Chain A
């Protein structure tokens, strides 16, 4: 299957300022692809290059196998886009705003538009400047979705939305995917990526540091393991195992962090007569933080 998005050593710099460096991505049709990274990591820059709003310094970007700077119109015809930060026209109502962006794409299916407005619980009669932050975001989301695009490119789409509307958004997004669409979604909200995305790429300081399926990525992370023994724990037996770090003993309890496969620890524990075994699977958020090294990936009880 051809990739919907593909980049090849994509690099963008703003003079002396770093943008993105050697970004390689591949997103397949029908995927919900999460693009994770902290503020300023390069998520928005990547999306803007993919849309040809800015041009790469080097490398190439392909959307629908069309080079982004070669024929951006052909790409734009098939995408829905929500910028991370946007301000629309203060004097237009929400409906007029949607009408305008629908018209720029050659017209809009009014029935579907009305359904989206209703599902997002948006009052379309108010002027844009009168909307709250969340309602402005709803207008942007409906504008991106209303033309039933083949590819949704969403930069932090749930920003400002309440949990109910977030749920609605994920439902609509899944419907688009079920209908053959693809979603490229940037976020720094990890649990929403964890529950909505099939695959994820993590970008840090402009470089992709990890790409993989959400569950596989989680497997790459550490496990926080607690073992209870009837007698003094055999610390040395665990200390020498591959991937085991931070071993700590408290009475008959031994705690450790296990990076990579947990099987050797399980086998050793069984052999040494463990009486209780507790292993916590890390959340993506914990994985993310561990990869970034910003804080220890302590498993919360």
Chain B
């Protein structure tokens, strides 16, 4: 039917929408998404660009001359195949670009992918869950355009952050590198590296975006992140060789742009797959009912675990689903890492030169032992455990930010008891995650034929660090505002990681390195514990909850 009922739209004295507000502002969905992403752009650009500069300075500082570079070059051909597949092919390790690509390339790719997953899983599904998408979708353009504008905004932000990284790689190589040692990174190499990161990120972010209309934000992000970890680890795990064939890391194994080695075809394949995922996401969003997701058909939680009997059990019951999610992810990583470390240690142990070289690259780690490798991985796992703790804090905080707290406090539940219950619930969630990691590690090391008694006990260090983060978050939430508690906890985790990473590399004063909580925990994976650091973490956990409880008694309840 084409007949029109009612009056046609009338002309009105409308205020024109400026081009600026359409690009960055409230003039369009694209503009608002860009506006909302300003902080994440600053953080991502700062981290990517900053870390590239720091690494450039660190490499030049630790390996300043030709002799030291030759030592690193000797690694080529001697590095275990599992490590090669996991971290990428070691090419021209004696140059800044080669070393940077091999040691940090995968970490940069995983971090950028995680950012993309979080952004693209939440950009529509998050707004639908929040309740504002109905109003936006009632605007006079289709759902397809809404999705496209959201995707375009993320692509813009990602491109800007990666442009900063490209400039930092190029500038860092010229500022800190030695051209005579082959450190110079050309603009094309820098752009090629950034493109690789961007395409990998969009592959997994696009997957999350495609799943979003079906599964909602949490389900799509969880599955995309799990796929990312599996497709990365599959490269270093013989048993998953078939899976590795569909991994974008595998497709781009020959694209080592920072040393001038390009595989544009492989990169294009990743780009096409990413574009396909994004297109599927746009179409699914346009065709499906708004805000109606299928959800994951997970079995219902037993009633006893829902924890409706008291404030502590309710707090724990509320945390349990995400504790199980983190636990499954970390357990899986533990299993895969545990199965690899024996082979890696054996291969290095057989060559004294290799032991010496690896000691230079990873000072302080005994990589001739499986425990040493596990300790090296633990430094990475601290981030995951810390971020898990930050999400538990965030969940507790949502009682207040979501408006439930006023209902709780209208019962005979005191403010301080609410804080203490929430803190205990979050700590119990950390225990669940740590236990699941230890189980995964035990299974992995057993399958790899490695004795890992110390490492299993040492897994507890992840939990001990995480409960310290819980304490910090609960203290911030109790004393100031719960709306920033999760974010502050996450910032502490990231700052700790960066200090621990950067301070030794740049040979910064020891007191700076001492600021990182993780530098005080010893090497529990090989049975070396630092009682002072462990005690301090426990004090932070308990003290943080107590401080939060006291602080909560003194401030207004917010919304």
In the bound complex, CA of A180 to CA of B29 (Å): 30
Cβ A103 vs Cβ B4 within 8 A: no
One of A62-70, A197-205, A236-244 at the interface: A62-70
Cβ A53 vs Cβ B290 within 8 A: yes
Cβ B141 vs Cβ A73 within 8 A: yes
In the bound complex, CA of A136 to CA of B4 (Å): 34
Q: Which residues in chain A, 39-77, are within 8 Å of chain B measured between CB atoms? A: 48, 51, 53-55, 62, 64-67, 72-74, 76-77
For chain A, give the interface size range: 35 or more
- Does B135 interact with chain A (Cβ within 8 Å)? yes
Q: Which residues in chain B, 473-491, are within 8 Å of chain A measured between CB atoms? A: none
> Interface centre among B2, B15, B135, B138, by most A CB within 10 Å?
B138
B134: chain A residues at CB < 8 Å are 48, 53, 81, 83, 86
Q: Which residue of A lies closest to B28 (CB)?
A: A103
Cβ B140 vs Cβ A105 within 8 A: yes
- Please encode chain B, from 121 to 158, with 1 for each CB lying within 8 Å of some chain A CB and 0 for all others: 00000000011101111111110000000000000000
- Does A268 interact with chain B (Cβ within 8 Å)? no
Kindly provide the distance from the CB of A78 to the nearest chain B CB, expressed in whole angstroms. 6
Q: Which of A4, A107, A112, A140 meets B17, CB within 8 Å?
A: A107
- Does B32 interact with chain A (Cβ within 8 Å)? yes
- Does B457 interact with chain A (Cβ within 8 Å)? no
Contact status of A100 and B26, CB under 8 A, knowing A53-B138, A81-B135, A86-B132: yes
B3: chain A residues at CB < 8 Å are 2, 65
- Does A162 interact with chain B (Cβ within 8 Å)? no
Cβ A106 vs Cβ B17 within 8 A: yes
- Does A11 interact with chain B (Cβ within 8 Å)? no
Cβ B6 vs Cβ A101 within 8 A: no
Q: Which residue of B lies closest to A84 (CB)?
A: B134
Contact status of A180 and B7, CB under 8 A, knowing A88-B132, A107-B14, A108-B14: yes
> Interface centre among B5, B17, B140, B559, by most A CB within 10 Å?
B5
- Does B27 interact with chain A (Cβ within 8 Å)? yes
Cβ B132 vs Cβ A2 within 8 A: no
B556: chain A residues at CB < 8 Å are none
B142: chain A residues at CB < 8 Å are 72-73
B559: chain A residues at CB < 8 Å are 129-130
Contact status of A54 and B29, CB under 8 A, knowing A2-B3, A79-B138, A107-B15: no
Contact status of A67 and B138, CB under 8 A, knowing A96-B26, A107-B14, A129-B559: no
- Does B10 interact with chain A (Cβ within 8 Å)? yes
A164: chain B residues at CB < 8 Å are none
Cβ A76 vs Cβ B138 within 8 A: yes
Q: Which residue of B lies closest to A131 (CB)?
A: B559
Cβ B10 vs Cβ A110 within 8 A: no
- Please encode chain A, from 7 to 44, with 1 for each CB lying within 8 Å of some chain B CB and 0 for all others: 00000001000000000000001000000000000000
Q: Which of B21, B130, B289 meets A54, CB within 8 Å?
A: B289
Q: Which residues in chain B, 1-33, are within 8 Å of chain A measured between CB atoms? A: 1-7, 9-10, 12-17, 21, 26-29, 32
Kindly provide the distance from the CB of B72 to the nearest chain A CB, expressed in whole angstroms. 48
- Does B240 interact with chain A (Cβ within 8 Å)? no
Cβ A78 vs Cβ B6 within 8 A: yes
In the bound complex, CA of A88 to CA of B291 (Å): 15
Cβ A99 vs Cβ B26 within 8 A: yes
Q: Which residue of B lies closest to A73 (CB)?
A: B140
In the bound complex, CA of A101 to CA of B29 (Å): 10
In the bound complex, CA of A133 to CA of B52 (Å): 48
In the bound complex, CA of A282 to CA of B140 (Å): 43
Q: Which residues in chain B, 275-313, are within 8 Å of chain A measured between CB atoms? A: 289-292
Q: Which of A76, A89, A180 meets B6, CB within 8 Å?
A: A180
Q: Which residue of A lies closest to B14 (CB)?
A: A107
A77: chain B residues at CB < 8 Å are 9, 140
Cβ A64 vs Cβ B4 within 8 A: yes
A54: chain B residues at CB < 8 Å are 289-290, 292
Q: Which of A53, A81, A104 meets B29, CB within 8 Å?
A: A104
Kindly provide the distance from the CB of A238 to the nearest chain B CB, expressed in whole angstroms. 49
Q: Which of A3, A55, A105, A108 meets B139, CB within 8 Å?
A: A105
Cβ B6 vs Cβ A182 within 8 A: yes
- Please encode chain A, from 91 to 116, with 1 for each CB lying within 8 Å of some chain B CB and 0 for all others: 01000100111111111111110000
One of A143-151, A254-262, A287-295 at the interface: A143-151
Cβ B5 vs Cβ A2 within 8 A: yes
Cβ A107 vs Cβ B16 within 8 A: yes
Cβ B6 vs Cβ A64 within 8 A: yes
Cβ B139 vs Cβ A4 within 8 A: no
- Does A85 interact with chain B (Cβ within 8 Å)? yes
In the bound complex, CA of A106 to CA of B291 (Å): 25
B12: chain A residues at CB < 8 Å are 109, 112, 147-148
Cβ A103 vs Cβ B17 within 8 A: yes
Contact status of A150 and B29, CB under 8 A, knowing A55-B289, A87-B130, A87-B132: no
In the bound complex, CA of A3 to CA of B289 (Å): 25
Cβ A4 vs Cβ B6 within 8 A: yes
A96: chain B residues at CB < 8 Å are 26
A76: chain B residues at CB < 8 Å are 138-141
In the bound complex, CA of A54 to CA of B28 (Å): 23
Kindly provide the distance from the CB of B300 to the nearest chain A CB, expressed in whole angstroms. 17
In the bound complex, CA of A132 to CA of B102 (Å): 54
Cβ B130 vs Cβ A65 within 8 A: no
Kindly provide the distance from the CB of A220 to the nearest chain B CB, expressed in whole angstroms. 28
B15: chain A residues at CB < 8 Å are 102, 107-110
Q: Which residue of B lies closest to A107 (CB)?
A: B14
Q: What are 27 inter-chain pairs, A to B, with CB distance below 8 A?
A: A1-B5, A2-B3, A4-B5, A4-B6, A29-B5, A29-B7, A48-B134, A48-B290, A62-B1, A64-B5, A65-B3, A66-B1, A73-B141, A76-B139, A76-B141, A81-B135, A86-B134, A92-B26, A99-B26, A101-B139, A103-B27, A109-B12, A109-B15, A129-B559, A147-B12, A148-B10, A182-B6
User: Which residues on A are within 8 Å of B, measured CB to CB?
Assistant: 1-4, 14, 29, 48, 51, 53-55, 62, 64-67, 72-74, 76-79, 81, 83, 85-89, 92, 96, 99-112, 129-130, 140, 143, 147-148, 150-151, 180-182
In the complex, the 8 A-B pairs of residues with the closest C-beta atoms, listed nearest first: A107-B14, A2-B5, A77-B140, A54-B289, A104-B139, A87-B131, A76-B140, A100-B26
User: Which residues on B are within 8 Å of A, measured CB to CB?
Assistant: 1-7, 9-10, 12-17, 21, 26-29, 32, 130-132, 134-142, 289-292, 559
Given contacts A76-B140, A105-B140, A108-B14, 14 further A-B contacts (CB under 8 A): A1-B5, A2-B3, A29-B5, A64-B5, A65-B2, A83-B135, A89-B132, A92-B26, A104-B139, A105-B139, A112-B12, A129-B559, A150-B9, A180-B7
